[in-house]
Chains A and B, each alone.
Chain A
Amino acid sequence: MFVAGVDIGSRGAKSVIMEDGNVLSYSICDTGPESVRAAELTMAEALKGTGLSLKDFSYIVATGYGRVLVPFANANISEISCHARGAHWYFPSVRTILDMGGQDCKAINCDEQGRVTNFIMNDKCAGGTGRFLEMIADVLQVPLDEIGSLSLESTQDLPFSTVCAVFAKSEALALLKKGVPKGDILSGLHDAIAVRCRNLLKRVSIEKDFTITGGIAKNVGMVNKVKEKVGLEPLLATDPQIIGALGAALFARERAESQGGPRES
């Protein structure tokens, strides 16, 4: 039986194809301005080389910010439940999940079955999220995938007063003009974001085990700072960015099974 999960995030579109409880393939694309197109692109990318087409799927679940815009999905489920489900599949011992996404951050607690017991998200402001890091990388003219490792080279602590994109950008520019190394600026900003994440996590409860999901979990500098602030060593999936889509695929499998066999189409 084949099922799929499609996670249309604010910055990245991810899809995961599962066959009988194993991940067969996955893909990550940019969402861009058209979520419908992003959904089709990411799915086409994941289908490549599998020899499958959409009609071979018993069930497809969409999640994420653009979940209602996935034309081929059978159902849509909130990304909070999907992240909990996906993280639990990877690490059954996980009770606390920090999802660091493109435009928001979420703190989630789940139980031993991977069901959400407590969640919080701060989606009013995108300060200190993936989009914010993209903007900072652009200001400093450092490739996005290098900012994390560069921040680790920092030799001094720079306190940033804000993770507001507007103010942090001018603070960063001012420091740059003073000749402060980019690594120190990045380290200071990562620190400020980690503090914001810790405060969000404190509103739920910080219990072992702890994992970080979402695209920012691939940033070693960020993971390091979060570990320092939260005081727990995070378990990290091979690709933390696909956890939401993976959770969606797991929901799809459950629903396909409860429906009793593949759908007729």
Chain B
Amino acid sequence: MRANYGYTDGTGDYFITIDTDKCNGCGDCVAACPENIFELAEDDYGKVVAVVKEETRKRVGYVCPGFNGVCSRKEVNCHSACKNEAISHTW
């Protein structure tokens, strides 16, 4: 399942996509995110996967600094931490 968390507003698209078929629930992204936006949770089909925290979903564009502009320059980020390349960003 491709789970898209986020929204579109007047300034652009802010979606973080987690491919739960690729996610193995290891939690490395949880530790890697400087803003601590991920957590592990059981999905509706009983698989433990990474999700964007509920309270962050409506303001993800403010909380997450963005991958393309900011986090991609860091040595450790959620994309690099994920061995299965399950996470992607639109900004």
Write out, one digit per residue, whether chain B residues 46-87 have a CB within 8 A of any chain A CB (1) or not (0). Answer: 000000000001100000000000000000000000000000
Residues on the A chain within 8 Å of B3, using CB: 119
User: Smallest CB–CB gap between B83 and chain A, Å?
Assistant: 22
Q: Is there a chain A Cβ closer than 8 Å to B15's Cβ?
A: yes
Interface of B is mostly: strand
Task: Select one of A81, A117, A123, A124 contacting B2, CB under 8 A.
Answer: A117
User: Smallest CB–CB gap between A197 and chain B, Å?
Assistant: 13
Judge whether B9 and A120 touch: CB under 8 Å: no
Judge whether A122 and B2 touch: CB under 8 Å: no
**A118 touching B4 in the complex, CB below 8 Å, given contacts A78-B44, A81-B44, A125-B9:** yes
**A119 CA to B6 CA in the complex, in Å?**
11
Within residues 215 to 265 of chain A, which ones have a CB less than 8 A from any CB in chain B?
A: 251
**A120 touching B1 in the complex, CB below 8 Å, given contacts A78-B44, A125-B9:** no
The total of Cβ contacts below 8 Å across the A-B interface reads 37
Which size bracket describes the interface of A in this complex?
A: 10 to 19
**A120 CA to B8 CA in the complex, in Å?**
11
Judge whether B4 and A123 touch: CB under 8 Å: no
User: Smallest CB–CB gap between A70 and chain B, Å?
Assistant: 16
Residues on the B chain within 8 Å of A36, using CB: none
Task: Select one of B15, B44, B45, B57 contacting A123, CB under 8 A.
Answer: B57
Judge whether B45 and A122 touch: CB under 8 Å: no
Task: Select one of B1, B4, B58 contacting A124, CB under 8 A.
Answer: B58
Write out, one digit per residue, whether chain B residues 1-44 have a CB within 8 A of any chain A CB (1) or not (0). Answer: 11110011100000100000000000000000000000000001
Judge whether B58 and A123 touch: CB under 8 Å: yes
**A80 CA to B3 CA in the complex, in Å?**
10
Judge whether B44 and A124 touch: CB under 8 Å: no
**A204 CA to B15 CA in the complex, in Å?**
12
Chain A residues engaging chain B, CB cutoff 8 angstroms: 77-78, 80-81, 115-125, 199, 203-204, 251
- List 9 additional A-B contacts (Cβ < 8 Å) besides A122-B7, A123-B7, A203-B15: A81-B44, A115-B45, A117-B1, A117-B2, A119-B2, A123-B58, A125-B7, A199-B8, A251-B44
List the 8 closest pairs (A to B, CB-CB), nearest first.
A81-B44, A124-B7, A120-B4, A118-B2, A77-B44, A124-B58, A116-B1, A122-B7
